[in-house]
Amino acid sequence: MFLPRVRAVIIIAAMLLATSAIAQETAEVTEYRVVHTWPLEKAVQAFDISPAGDFALLSYKDEPPVETRLDIHRFNLVDGTSETIRLSPKRVEGQGSLMIRATAEAKAIAISENGETFLANWPSYIVSVHADSGVMQDVTGIRDAGSGHTMFNVLEFAPDSTAAFGVGSGVVRFDLTGTTGEGIPYSRDVQAPGGQSLAVISATKIATGSSQALTVATTGADAPDCVIEGMVKDLDTDPVGSRLAGAVYDQEANATDMVIWSLPDCQETIRWPTGVSFVPDIAWLPGGERIATAGGDGQLRFWDVETGTQVHSLAVESDAGFKMHFSDDATHLVTFTLWGDRMLRFFESQ
């Protein structure tokens, strides 16, 4: 009689532990609801959301060419209003007769960690702007020896906002510790080839992803920290900068895997299939236990980074790719469509 009772107690205890684990897992899943939507006039060229999640900035592709003017569209996510910030670098004192190419679109946008400043890239120029007033604080001409102008695919601030990095055909580091209105100091002493994606690990260390490889590099070093072959579509670091996540595309299989590497040794720790061919955007969520991926099928998926298992999904679009940006605490989410109905959507956690 004693042994059956022991077995019964063990079975009941196991059931209670399993129920507790399921409840804990369910509690960790965050649901999101749409608060505001905006129809977009055109395809989006550049985009970012403030760390606090209260506003977003974007630039459209193919804006009508206007000499010495750049339009940045601001969406106030709390009240659902929007406005246009119109910039002209010719008005900045101390910059002489700086001229820009005939374009009115920003190639890349990044908002600082405190939300007070943003950077925008014209071809050949980087501008620093006060986010609330729209007043330009600095404008800097950036020249390449070959093409004569510099365009970035991505701009991103360092976690402490003392530096920022731009990635395009190469990598440029901007020193933001003492700007004076007479140009932002910049350097090209990061031994990385550039690319389409960027993760800023610290004020002196970055990772870039291209159609060829993942490269991790430190400012001022003679060679990259590591180079890993593969077509990397997007990158992000965990909240403490100890791990790197990448969406790696396998052209032969027409599929994308999520891969986690440890830092600073660049060792692969886990890899799992996303189940879709196209993953244009990924984001590491607060706490470091979850990663979100934007799928080309319109689904936003949430993954456990230790096991590679999907824990939740959210239908954002109907069979359309999208880009996404979370606020720092992941309570706010903004998405925009890459094709189809071209909508900007603002979500809040619930």
Backbone angles phi, psi at 28, to 5 degrees: -80, -10
329 alpha-carbon distance from chain centroid: 14
- Tens-place pLDDT, residues 98-129: 444 445 578 899 999 999 999 998 777 888 88
Name the least confident of 20-34, 177-191, 232-246, 323-337: 20-34
What is the reported pLDDT for 71? 83
144 or 56, greater pLDDT: 56
The confidence band for 340, taking pLDDT boundaries of 50, 70 and 90, is confident
What letter does residue 9 receive in the DSSP assignment? H
Residues 178, 200: Cα–Cα separation, whole Å = 20
pLDDT at 4 over 80: no
Q: The tokens of 211 are what? A: 């159609």
Please give the full DSSP string across 154-190, using - where no structure is assigned.
EEEE-TTSSEEEEEESSEEEEE-SS--SS---EE---
Tell me the H-state helices in the chain: 2-28
Q: Containing H/E element for 138? A: strand 136-141
- Tens-place pLDDT, residues 255-295: 999 999 999 999 999 999 999 999 999 999 999 999 999 99
| For the chain, percent of residues with pLDDT exceeding 70 | 82
Contact 89, 139 (CB under 8 A): yes
Match 């990044």 to its residue by tokens.
110
pTM reported for the whole predicted model: 0.85
Domain 34-188 class? mainly beta
CB atoms near residue 147 (< 10 Å)? 12
Backbone angles phi, psi at 43, to 5 degrees: -65, 150
CB atoms near residue 297 (< 10 Å)? 17
pLDDT at 141 over 90: no
Each domain of the chain, given as residue ranges in start order, spans 34-188, 200-350
Note whether 34-188 and 200-350 share their fold. Answer: yes
Contact 259, 245 (CB under 8 A): yes
Q: Which fold has domain 200-350?
A: Methylamine Dehydrogenase; Chain H (2.130.10)
What letter does residue 328 receive in the DSSP assignment? T
Angle, CA of 178, 179 and 183, to the nearest 5°: 140
